[in-house]
Amino acid sequence: MRSNHLTTKRTVSGLVLILAFSRPSHAQEVPVVEKSLSNGMRVLMVERHTEPTIAGGWVAHVGSSNERPGITGIAHLFEHMMFKGSTTIGTRNNAVDQEIIARQEVLRAQMREEETRMRAGLRRGEIDDILKPENATPRWRELKKQFDELITRQRANMVKDEFDLVYTAAGGSHLNAFTSNDQTAYFVTVPANKLELWMWMESDRLLNHVFREFYSERDVVQEERRLGVDSTPLGKAGEAFEALAWGGHPYAWPVVGWPSDLPAITKAQADEFFAIYYAPQNITLVLVGDLKPDVVIPLAERYFGRIARGSIDPPEVITADPRHPIERRMNAQVDANPQVWIAWQTVASAHRDSYPLAVLCGLLEGRTGRLHKALVLKNQIATSVSAADDCRKWAGGFAISAEAREPHTPAECEQAVYTVLHHLAREDVPAEELQKVKNQFAAREYRKLANNYAIFMQLIHYDGQGDWREINQAGPKLQAVTAADVRRVAKQYFTPENRAVALLTRKPPATPPSPVDQ
């Protein structure tokens, strides 16, 4: 599976809400060269001759936050589709391909008419789930049979995984992609002498994209969702809690999409989405390694410059959570140990308070952090505890989770967390403790400068968040955080009316049916 989902990792508690990307804190600046192509596509380059390779990729500034109800999951679906090849790669005969795709669209339009009838039946209570095969109309089943025959024909005409095969034969490695709430990134490491091949391959799948197996790939994503969310002990609870915590913000729906939306997305909607969000002015190329910028730019113009600028600029995300001054709470029974999840809405990654919040997280997290010392070691009411700061492009969140140690309860852990935060809001952090956290950031970032791929991933992340310059500017900002800053943000953001809380208890074992019931 191509999907890494680097920015949708779950914490120990199962929250999808959090990703802790540490911010750079290094004295040596990364020498980034930025250029723009004639069609508005930007290029970021870092020249490093320590190894004869180039970590190359591109970020489309689109994620689940750019979706709307009805097409949730479409950004992640594109991550899958972009590996299906082009008019040249992945097919034995492109004309046959186009004929099959056109016929598939006719059938899918007819199937959608039947699905509209099925949804009407669902609303009337005649069926309980339109996704159950037994609830499909006879006409839908006949159309599906014809559609499956077309899929068989299409697969016989495909060259499976040719995109991967071409790169592998040329010495490429680490071919992958990820989708987050704010960005979709594609990347691979190639030998330095294969730079032009990379230029052609990546521009070709943008310029001559073919969404082969579009509808069957939706089924693959649905299965991915089933395995990653529906079939896990904490998946559904974590998804429900994220929706509760983000409220009316587009971050409230999962990157993989709602199960009702995924099977309803059409290729026409995908084509429209691609035209807006995969336009050159919404894409940044990133290249790190054994290269010369004055060689890269003419090549990039030759290949990527062929792609016409989009007719409209992608709209910004303007929907925000109303932030009603109330605490949001949920209770759930799960097949896991009792635990508490707490989340606060904070600030976007560009906000000045994102740095004190990152430092505050450093004070709380880990085995030497305040939460572990208080809840696990001193009071012994929790078996584990975690904290994560997640300032994203459009908004931010901060989450803490704790797993209760029997006979203690999630509610006891919750109150203990508030006690720790109360001290941070009222008392300055000792200078030695504060500097220790800053040193940890610096050491972490020093390790991230070890190779081309590590630097590349930082640039992809920061550019996706809105400003690649943070790779150099965030370090000094972190070091400038004071004890007063930490105390201020602890007092400002960790308030009852700004939080969502989930208390999770163990689901009782199923009671076997009595002889009478049988």
Q: What is the full per-residue pLDDT of the chain (518 aa) written as tens digits? A: 333 333 333 333 333 333 333 344 445 789 999 999 999 999 999 999 999 999 999 999 999 999 999 999 999 999 999 999 999 999 999 999 999 999 999 999 999 999 999 999 999 999 999 889 999 999 999 999 999 999 999 999 999 999 999 999 999 999 999 999 999 999 999 999 999 999 999 999 999 999 888 988 888 898 999 999 989 999 999 999 999 999 999 999 999 999 999 889 999 999 999 999 999 999 999 999 999 999 999 999 999 999 999 999 999 999 999 988 899 999 999 999 999 999 999 999 999 999 999 999 999 999 999 999 999 999 999 999 999 999 999 999 999 999 999 999 999 999 999 999 999 999 999 999 999 999 998 888 777 777 999 999 999 999 999 999 999 999 899 999 999 999 999 999 999 999 999 999 998 887 766 665 55
pTM above 0.75, yes or no: yes
Q: How far apart are CA 417 and CA 343, in angstroms?
A: 12
| Residues with Cβ within 8 Å of residue 339, at least 6 apart in sequence | 13, 401, 402, 403, 404, 410, 413, 504
Angle between helices 410-426 and 354-364 (to 10 degrees): 120
Residues 111, 105: Cα–Cα separation, whole Å: 10
φ, ψ (nearest 5 deg) of residue 495: -110, 155
First-to-last CA distance in the chain? 44
Neighbours of 416 (CB within 10 A): 21
From the list 197, 189, 203, 207, the residue with the least C-alpha distance to 56 is: 189
Say which CATH topology domain 328-506 has. Cytochrome Bc1 Complex; Chain A, domain 1 (3.30.830)
Sign of CA dihedral 187, 461, 43, 30: negative
Cβ atoms of residues 391 and 351 within 8 Å:
yes
Give the tokens for residue 426: 């009222």
Distance (Å, whole) CA 472 – CA 455 = 11
Nearest to 100 by CA among 154, 149, 159, 160: 154
Residues 6+ apart with CB under 8 A from 42: 34, 35, 36, 283, 284, 285
Query: Largest Cα–Cα distance of the chain, in whole Å?
Result: 82
Angle, CA of 198, 199 and 202, to the nearest 5° = 75
pLDDT at 345 (0 to 100): 97
- Number of alpha carbons in the 13 Å side-chain half-sphere of residue 323: 14
The whole-number pLDDT of residue 21 equals 36
Q: 14 with 235: CB under 8 angstroms?
A: yes
With beta carbons less than 8 A apart as the criterion, state whether 397 and 246 touch. Answer: yes
Dist. CA 99–CA 328, nearest whole Å: 52
506 in Cβ contact with 338 (< 8 Å): yes
Q: Under a CB-based contact definition with an 8 Å cutoff, are residues 485 and 356 in contact?
A: yes
Q: What is the CA radius of gyration of the chain?
A: 25
Q: Where are the domains of the chain?
A: 92-157, 328-506
CB 210 within 8 A of CB 97: yes
In angstroms, rounded to a whole number, what is the distance separating the alpha carbons of residues 179 and 8?
Answer: 8
Strand partners, 79: none
CA atoms within 13 A on the CB side of 122: 15
Contact between 12 and 186 (Cβ < 8 Å): no
pLDDT for residue 515: 62
Q: How far apart are CA 274 and CA 309, in angstroms?
A: 12
